[in-house]
Structure 1
């Protein structure tokens, strides 16, 4: 049974609880108003001034190095290795003997056939003289002629067999590691070593369909490779395929590079740049200044805000869309959206939104080189 005293206690508790809630709500509103009156705290960023720089228009591609002449040395016939005159990792001349298979039986047969051919030649010469005096018939001379040609053909066939057991360098080049040993049995096509002509050397790469009109034989090419950081190698375009690959819509291109020190080796991966126009002036920014999004590229521009009560003009960030062009090293060309002299944020963009006050600190210089090179730290 609820008494009068209990009702009074419930009313008092409700009044106290409601007062506490009202106090907390009022305090929260006061805090929000206080924070709002203070404004956004400034964010520290680094900046750069947009400037014009000389820019060489280029096409970029990735390619693979290929020897001007290159082949894997392998026998046509099976046999036992009898001689390996070359040394691993050495230069050879065209015609140098690289490997000889055991050929004693073949050479003996060749000598026998040569003796038979010589006898056929003597018989032919004798009948040729006798037919003039009618000592032998024309039929005998014809038979001697046929026998001579048959014997010579057998000698040629046996000589070809002997030659197949002697592998010679097809061109001047550099041989690799020897992969076989004396006395080893080789099967047809088994690799003995590799032979590569390294100077000059080719780089093969592809260009997209929309860039085909920009490529031509004779254009200057420079390549870089991870094998030699900071080094560039110059060459020129020597050939373009007369058709595009129907699967990729790319055209194959080949450039030739001088390689006297043989630093470049077949099979290496290379980054290729083709000069496709005259030097021109372009607005440039460090690539760190650009924020790449699915809906476009943006930057944060530094602009002057409204003067405060003390008459000071704060700096604020303003997000802006830009259109970017080619890249080179740490830099990117700006096609639209900026003008020379604009100040752009290069780091600290994640803390910014439109209207955020900023403090500029450029004590640390961010990379902005057209041709950066790795630095050992």
Structure 2
């Protein structure tokens, strides 16, 4: 018995016709789909704009008084009177403490009387000398006595002054450490005195920035004790030497402290303003990095146009653009993942 053939001339013709019909039908259908216009992608855009760019150097420093001194006794004596209160603001030369001074007062008065009497005798001898009634040696001896008394009086007055303690400069006093009637000795601290308006801050800056440092530059001081506030100041001086270990140089800034809110010893974060530029900036979310290049999508005639840009410095959320786009051009900041070069977009301004 011969095997039955599954392929007949008729079946072959049917298969060929089916292939041709399918190609024509589905091929035309695909062409129609390809030619159908693409739907516009919804995106959010904004304009490239000129912004202020503050080039700053940050550092940490400890606040210190412009003038600071421990007020001490210079002699051993008991406290007679106290003329200040804790934390009081005082002026230069203001009396703070008086020590017992009865003996010194009496000594000064005694020498003043002796000096006055010596001067009268000297004047009398000079008058007698003009009449040849007193010798020159007598006059010279009396002049020596007068000069000696003047020197003794000067010493007595100096010792009397040591028994009164005055503020050497204007500032704010600290806590009182003595009481009336207490015996104080040389070196005993009576109180502290600080001039803190303005207040000084010393901070280190890398030697790399040395050429851009000069007195008068603006700084801002920030303290954790006063969140959200900045205290303005200026560079007062720059050290004459670079630290060979840290390769940094010390800078001293004077920070405004009119209300005396900042105190010596506080940790301050310093922002040193090197320069202020006006430069072209765009949102950081608009930049697409690919390898070593950066791109943005501009919007032109309601279509996305991929553009190569060159970026520069950065601010939080912003990037400087040095080439590729100009001020006022609209760029896509949201929805860049849904667009391609040349595709239509539906733009919403940010």
Band of TM-score, shorter chain:
0.5 to 0.7
Partner of 2:83: 85
Partner of 2:177: 179
Partner of 1:277: 275
Evaluate the alpha carbon distance shift between residue 140 and residue 258 of structure 1 in structure 2; reply closer, same or farther with a 3 A threshold: same
- Aligned with 1:241: secondary structure? strand
Pairs aligned (count): 262
* Residues 285, 334 of structure 1: 8 Å contact kept: no
How many angstroms does 1:252 deviate by?
A: 2.1
Partner of 2:152: 154
Correspondence list, 1:321-336, <5 A: none
- Aligned with 2:179: secondary structure? coil
1:214 and 2:205 matched: no
Name structure 2 gaps, 5 residues minimum.
1-45, 286-290, 295-310, 326-330, 335-350
* CA–CA distance in structure 2, aligned partners of residues 75 and 284 of structure 1: 64
Deviations 1:311-353 (A, max 9, x none): xxxxxxxxxxxx99777xx6697999xx99688xxxxxxxxxx
Evaluate the alpha carbon distance shift between residue 334 and residue 78 of structure 1 in structure 2; reply closer, same or farther with a 3 A threshold: farther
* CA–CA distance in structure 2, aligned partners of residues 173 and 194 of structure 1: 10
Partner of 2:135: 137
How many angstroms does 1:148 deviate by?
A: 0.8
Correspondence list, 1:163-242, <5 A: 163-242=161-240
Evaluate the alpha carbon distance shift between residue 155 and residue 195 of structure 1 in structure 2; reply closer, same or farther with a 3 A threshold: same
Mark the structure with the bigger radius of gyration. 2
Partner of 1:357: none
Per mean C-alpha deviation after superposition, the further-off stretch among 226-235 and 251-260 is: 251-260
Evaluate the alpha carbon distance shift between residue 133 and residue 333 of structure 1 in structure 2; reply closer, same or farther with a 3 A threshold: farther
* CA–CA distance in structure 1, aligned partners of residues 269 and 253 of structure 2: 12
* CA–CA distance in structure 1, aligned partners of residues 245 and 144 of structure 2: 58
Partner of 2:305: none
How many angstroms does 1:68 deviate by?
A: 2.4
**Equivalent of 1:59, from 57, 60, 69?**
57
- CA root-mean-square deviation: 3.4
* TM-score relative to the length of structure 1: 0.61
Per mean C-alpha deviation after superposition, the further-off stretch among 245-254 and 172-181 is: 245-254
* Residues 53, 278 of structure 2: 8 Å contact kept: yes
* CA–CA distance in structure 2, aligned partners of residues 326 and 192 of structure 1: 53
Higher strand share: 2
Deviations 1:39-62 (A, max 9, x none): xxxxxxxxxx9x986431011111
Name structure 1 gaps, 5 residues minimum.
1-48, 287-297, 302-322, 344-377
Correspondence list, 1:1-377, <5 A: 54-281=52-279
